[in-house]
Structure 1
Amino acid sequence: MAAGSFGDEASTARAPGFAKRVLVTGGAGFIASHVVVSLVEKYPNYMVINLDKLDYCASLKNLEIISEKQNYKFIQGDICEPSFIKALFDTEKIDVVLHFAAQTYVDLSFWRKLEFNYVNVYGTYVLVGAAYEANVEKFIYVSTDEVYGGSCDKEFDESSPKQPTNPYAASKAAAECFVQYYWEKYQFPVVITRCSNVYGPHQFPEKVIPKFISLLQQNRKCCIHGLGLQRRNFLYASDVAEAFLTVMKKGHPGEIYNIGTNFEMSITQLAKELIHLIKNTSSEAETEYWMDYVKDRPTNDLGYPMDSEKMHSLGWRPKVSWNEGIKKTIEWYQENFHNWKNAEKALEPFPVAEESV
């Protein structure tokens, strides 16, 4: 069932034989597309409904492998339209929500603060309110490690204070507050996740790993912000998808879960490793040739180390090694860079956008 309108008679009735109906927002984007594929393949008795407005960084090509499955449906729509969202819950009889849809590009958030707050905060407000009114069994909100602010060494746990340092992180932190409100006020079964940096196939090349890979594959230099000393923890996409399925099945209402890894490297180290793998460099001078240091963005946290013991207690741990994951990722971008119409624009050092409030 590749696409559809929930107003159609065939799509409004609860399909027989499905144990649950799961709504995934932003399912044509990066992480959520991996989650959608995993749900459809691992839970054939679940109807998986993918809601996506198909923004610039989304692509239905991410879902071709399951587009004709009988337990999958795509609906194009916007979480920021209350009447549309209410009608969707009324007709689709949703049991579980995995809410990924968001504006996520940190660099762009400095120029488009209002848009980030509208989509990330207001959109979540609309969605969680509709889910509450529809008496959904579980609402999983996908947040980010960036709500903690930066740290050089101290690990953040779920009780660490939120201290966001960029507009994107601030919008995600604010949205968390709306979600938590429904738990505190109504005991509505919400779960919040905060995830480390994720990499792998399907990611729009504005983010650092696919950007560096794509630049090098086009014989262009890696554009490194500032000194490149910022460190990031990287998780492979299939590991993260498994984490969200674990939270869906085992996550406790009202709880927050860090989804992280101890594997980390600096942006400079990342560039050097990708240069070595893609350009087969043999000398330091040759490696440096492919690195171009540009000005830093307005704020750039040094790192987001997290304690993920709560997730480990649910039985989840990352499995894919960096060497395995990065090789798969490099291979994927060799064939799929043009899955998005405007991918080439993403390879600029900074987004081309006008300042807004």
Structure 2
Amino acid sequence: MSEESGWNVRGARASFKKRLLVTGGAGFIASHVIICLLERYPDYLIINLDKLDYCASLKNLQSVSSRTNYRFIQGDICDEHFVKLLFETENIHIVLHFAAQTHVDKSFWCSSEFTNVNVDGTQVLVNAAYQANVEKFIHVSTDEVYGGSIKEFPVVVTRSSNVYGPHQYPEKVIPKFIALLQRNRKCCIHGTGVQARHFLYATDVAEAFLTILEKGEPGETYNVGTNFEMSVIQLAKELVHLIKETASESELELWIEHVSDRPSNDLGYPMNSKKLHRLGWKPKVAWEEGIRKTIEWYEANFHNWPDAEKALDPFPSSALYKRC
């Protein structure tokens, strides 16, 4: 652990009311959460731990990188010695755990990497946080990695709908379709495209995590959802309409290409978010506003990732999926 990694050990004991660790903070959702945290809690030290994998970009946090209550540390949650020393050195009070492999297509042919990061890495982090006796651990994933009794460790589990907006690596459907159309390429749809998804804007989900941080009860699971739903084929047509300024069905179809479906492609993910609503949170950003802001952002910031163009290539057909 060196100065080059962003870990200034000499400044580790500076006075802050609380020290909050955000893992995967240079990624999509977590970067929005960090920006919100810095605004709302100027007396908290917000520590961003990220190994800077292909889908992360520190450009997502350029606007706040000079804040005195922000610190970036480059490191891997799978490195047990590193994580243990991090908690010992930084005196962490709260953990928001976002670091994960998330791309569904990649999970089929690289499942061992997903297991390593999402299960083993989370277990390393949980163990270190438990030993450090943190006040709260918010896990943005499934609850099956924990085990044990909730009375012994203050874990809050969250599950959210599909999130979209600025900062998202363009392997996911909305930024991928936007970027393809902005480059005069067709939207590539798995199967028929009738699968429906609920889409939630990034700042809304960031506010949800702050609400859970402040009011969430240990041992609870909170769904972060929205009633807004759209099929993938509807999404493609709407983006064609907005970006190519065309409305006729025949013209819309010119910008859409259907390819082999995934090995498993769920029709939808209905969720009930009333438990979170009772804490005072509801989504605020309308689809029309959110998608307009998202299109504008990718027009100017697509190359925040050095290899962003590679994300636009089609993934392998279902017959080619294999384990890493």
TM norm structure 2: 0.96
**Runs of 5+ unmatched residues, structure 1:** 144-172
1:272, 1:354 → 2: CA distance? 28
The percentage of aligned residue pairs carrying the same residue is 66
Q: 1:178 aligns with which of 145, 161, 170?
A: 145
Q: Contact 1:6–1:92 (CA<8 Å) still a contact in 2?
A: no
Aligned to 1:82: 80
The Cα of 1:9 is off from its aligned counterpart by: 1.4
Deviation at 1:193, TM superposition (A): 0.1
Residue type at the aligned position of 2:219: G
- Residue by residue over 1:245-294, the C-alpha shift from the partner in whole angstroms, topping out at 9 and shown as x without a partner, is 00000000000000000100000000000000000003110000000011
What is the letter of the counterpart of residue 8 of structure 1?
V
The answer for the alignment partner of 1:111 in structure 2 is 109
1:56 aligned partner: 54
DSSP-derived class of the 1:178 partner: coil
The aligned amino acid for 2:21 is: L
What is the aligned residue count?
320
Alpha carbons of structure 1 residues 191 and 319: separation in structure 2 relative to 1, 3 Å: same
C-alpha separation in 2, matches of 1:93 and 1:354: 43
RMSD over aligned Cα atoms: 1.6
Q: Give the alignment's TM-score, normalised by structure 1.
A: 0.87
Which AA in structure 2 matches 1:100?
A: F
Match of 1:322 in 2: 287
Structure 2 gap segments, 5+ residues each:
none
Matched with 2:201 is 236
CA distance in structure 2 between the partners assigned to 1:229 and 1:346 by the alignment: 23
User: 2: CA distance between counterparts of 1:69 and 1:114?
Assistant: 37
- In structure 2, the CA distance between the partners of 1:5 and 1:348, relative to structure 1 (3 Å rule), is closer
Give the equivalent residue in structure 2 for 1:336: 301
Q: What are the within-5 Å matches in structure 2 for residues 143-292 of structure 1?
A: 143=141, 173=142, 176-179=143-146, 181-184=147-150, 186-292=151-257
| Structure 2 partner of 1:148 | none
1:75 match: secondary structure:
strand
Whole-Å Cα distance in 2 between the matches of residues 77 and 235 of structure 1? Answer: 29
Aligned to 2:10: 9
Distance 2:75 2:240 in 1: 40
| 1:207 partner letter | K
Matched to 1:255, the amino acid is E
Secondary structure of residue in 1 paired with 2:257: strand
Which residue type is aligned with residue 268 of structure 2?
G
**Corresponding position of 1:122:** 120
Task: Say if 2:50 and 2:75, in contact at 8 Å, map to a contact too.
Answer: yes
Partner SS state of residue 210, structure 1: helix
Query: Which deviates further from its counterpart, 225-234 or 342-351?
Result: 342-351
The answer to whether the 8 A contact 1:23-1:96 is kept is yes
Deviation at 1:351, TM superposition (A): 5.7
